[in-house]
Structure 1
């Protein structure tokens, strides 16, 4: 029997998209925001602990680059797999499990007795970290009211970015007193958040509708949503599919946009992770003390947080394409200027501008864009593969920088690498981005594919 009009997919999705932002929305959002912040904190431990790890295990620059990249190898696997798992089994439980995974291997890293063991635990930790990114942003995109989607997804990215300066600030206090292993002790906290998620978070309404669980979806909408005084859409949207598929990402309608996203993610990952992994060590090599290098890194990366917060407002006003393209290009230009100076004030200013436009404006917008471009059945798969390609950049860049530094070349080459990849990402954004501003996720699917699909099984069969 088909669902009644009051409980049908379009009615529930209309209420979900047009609802006011309620206290229940806020509680859910704060919970996932905390988990995403901790993910950013744990990922960005690398730059804080790397000087101590180098000294403890007597590493060369090349070996240190391998240590940095091990995390991203794990994250690549986690991101690629988790999206498909989430599209098949839901958002809630996989999201909670990802936090528990990287918390458990944080504890294992505390007791690593050799460099090989530490690299192994860091790679396994990366699986949970990469998986978390693939699941959390589609979850946010699917439950928040449509007009809040862009700002709230980019704000979540800002929370993730806050993990970097927070890691630097905590490291400044903890590492000199207790050593680098103490940072991994702190990184076990996410297991508590994971347990809380299992106990309190609702499942994605869009996932439930796709699985035909109309009563469960209706119950969540009744508790979650409050009318914002707008007309509920009556058209049907997306055909039910049991699970996501990578084939959707590379199908004719999506191929151009998918290639552009993957390329931009490689560049964004190379910028973000290469910089966060090596900046404290590069500054220390320029004669800056270890504590000051942590402080400078915290200031520079905080600018990225500010950029991410601003991005949420800009993408609703001027669109995703302009913010992505302009942000990446300006970041690249500031990187080139950054490499020409060693004066403290200029280093902080130019570094802050580069991360403001790169990791902040463009990087956060890129994840918001990737989390809304694909249909519900493949949304987490799409975000997961985007995140996986970001980890490819994170995998390659720290190793490349390690070899560059080992060659004792000019420090300018370090910044030139980051400048070039940012400009290339900006060009890709300007020529191959589908503008999603002002559309629901179902409308985006309809416009890209040129079809009117359905979320109602009865309509799909008729």
Structure 2
């Protein structure tokens, strides 16, 4: 039974077909295209660590300057994530997504020809704007064209593709940098231009965005091509779930009464998740070396530990469809936190790798991937990009603060256990927030989520048409 017809009178037949469709070849082509762009986003973020030693030598940098080189990227990503979601809510998903890739590819080429340390910082910061913006646009796009039962796994798989970009950058850097210098890595970073042009050439616009703008004919053509086996009846009306509007992307929607509790929870979890992901990758090699592992072993251990997060992200999509977003988020972050507390008590090589891998499997893998899937479903179409953008921005806040906090704590000559205690505490905080501050979205279309949040999470939708109508009006005006 179609979700919209079952739960909301007057729901759009086009959205019924889109949500209840099987996964077609056209879905696959679209998905692989956006997946390639998201992978390249993760790849170019990790170029920082690969290029840093060469840049230090070329421009004769001190440790503070080297640290600032890493920070400007995250600062740019924070800005890009915060503004791109609003832009995509107002002007569509397709063109902003392609432009994001074009931006970070163009400034990658500029960085390859940087003539001074200040010029490199400028180019890297501007590249960060494009990298952060892509994250804010791609996940709403996936959530809005994916069939409902595939939505969660598709978003979490996109997160795993992003995570895979990190070790791939390290592997390619090991081959390219010694032979051609650090500048060659930025030349490799121009590949997204090709993906961007491909997106502009044939990627369809979000059907939900088109319906919100009243472009029913264009939306019908896309649904017909995506779901050819579910064509509507001749003359079938295309009632809209939301009234056509000329704008969107309101931050006010995210902090309005129906969403405030959930938004605060998302932002808190994102700060913790960003602190875990970026803080761990920044400091783990140094901490392991300080515990007695050699430099090469510390890098090897870190590569194994952080790579296991990819496995968690892949499995997250299946788990959240079976047991729900709230349980996966809460249990994953709590498990990661407890494992961190145990992890810090051992220095045995096997135990370090096993416990560290388990902690990242639950933390950056299951928990991190599920968090973005949840955030991409929580908000109405008119503000979905804004919601993801601000979520991603708060993740970058965690990425900016945690490495500095760890450095401050270690500079106080505390025991190495303090490092693991920090990560354990932030993960436990994220887990508790998930259990008390999230709205379960499993098994619902994104329109159903909007109606239930606005009407009250336990409201019987079938008997409250006035509230459902109010939810649609709120979604349209946001």
The corresponding residue for 2:368 is 363
Deviation at 1:58, TM superposition (A): 5.2
- How big is each residue's C-alpha offset from its partner over 1:312-339, in whole Å with a ceiling of 9 and x where there is no partner? 0111111111111111111112222222
The corresponding residue for 1:16 is 18
User: More displaced, 175-184 or 162-171?
Assistant: 175-184
The corresponding residue for 1:420 is 425
1:150 aligns with 2:141: no
The corresponding residue for 1:69 is 71
The corresponding residue for 2:92 is 90
The corresponding residue for 1:272 is 277
The corresponding residue for 2:462 is none
Are 2:79 and 2:393, in contact at CA under 8 Å, matched by a contact in 1?
yes
- How big is each residue's C-alpha offset from its partner over 1:396-434, in whole Å with a ceiling of 9 and x where there is no partner? 122223344445543322222222111111111011000
The corresponding residue for 2:241 is 237
Aligned partner of residue 452 in structure 1, secondary structure: helix
Gaps (5+ residues) in structure 1? none
Using a 3 Å threshold, how does the CA distance of structure 1 residues 49 and 116 change in structure 2: closer, same or farther?
same
The corresponding residue for 1:224 is 226
Gaps (5+ residues) in structure 2? 456-466
Q: Give the Cα separation in 1 of the matches to 2:440 and 2:110.
A: 44
Are 1:75 and 1:391, in contact at CA under 8 Å, matched by a contact in 2?
yes
The corresponding residue for 2:463 is none
The corresponding residue for 2:468 is 452
Q: Give the Cα separation in 2 of the matches to 1:380 and 1:396.
A: 24
Q: Give the Cα separation in 1 of the matches to 2:174 and 2:286.
A: 14
Using a 3 Å threshold, how does the CA distance of structure 1 residues 228 and 152 change in structure 2: closer, same or farther?
farther
* Alignment length (residue pairs): 453
Are 2:39 and 2:162, in contact at CA under 8 Å, matched by a contact in 1?
yes
Q: Give the Cα separation in 1 of the matches to 2:342 and 2:120.
A: 36
Aligned partner of residue 253 in structure 1, secondary structure: helix
Q: Give the Cα separation in 1 of the matches to 2:272 and 2:204.
A: 34
Are 1:237 and 1:452, in contact at CA under 8 Å, matched by a contact in 2?
no
Deviation at 1:225, TM superposition (A): 0.9
Q: Give the Cα separation in 1 of the matches to 2:35 and 2:67.
A: 30
Trace 1:54-453 onto structure 2 (pairs within 5 A).
54=56, 56-57=58-59, 59=61, 61-227=63-229, 237-241=241-245, 242-284=247-289, 288=293, 291-450=296-455, 451-453=467-469
- The higher-RCO structure (CA 8 Å, 6+ apart) is 1
Q: TM-score, with normalisation over the residues of structure 1?
A: 0.91
Are 1:61 and 1:403, in contact at CA under 8 Å, matched by a contact in 2?
no
Q: Give the Cα separation in 1 of the matches to 2:165 and 2:102.
A: 18
Aligned partner of residue 468 in structure 2, secondary structure: coil
Using a 3 Å threshold, how does the CA distance of structure 1 residues 58 and 340 change in structure 2: closer, same or farther?
farther
Q: Give the Cα separation in 2 of the matches to 1:63 and 1:440.
A: 48
Q: Give the Cα separation in 2 of the matches to 1:454 and 1:236.
A: 14
Aligned partner of residue 436 in structure 1, secondary structure: coil
Using a 3 Å threshold, how does the CA distance of structure 1 residues 426 and 348 change in structure 2: closer, same or farther?
same
Using a 3 Å threshold, how does the CA distance of structure 1 residues 101 and 402 change in structure 2: closer, same or farther?
farther
- How big is each residue's C-alpha offset from its partner over 1:77-108, in whole Å with a ceiling of 9 and x where there is no partner? 10110000000000000000001111111122
Are 1:16 and 1:221, in contact at CA under 8 Å, matched by a contact in 2?
yes
Aligned partner of residue 254 in structure 1, secondary structure: helix
Using a 3 Å threshold, how does the CA distance of structure 1 residues 454 and 12 change in structure 2: closer, same or farther?
farther
Are 1:65 and 1:399, in contact at CA under 8 Å, matched by a contact in 2?
no
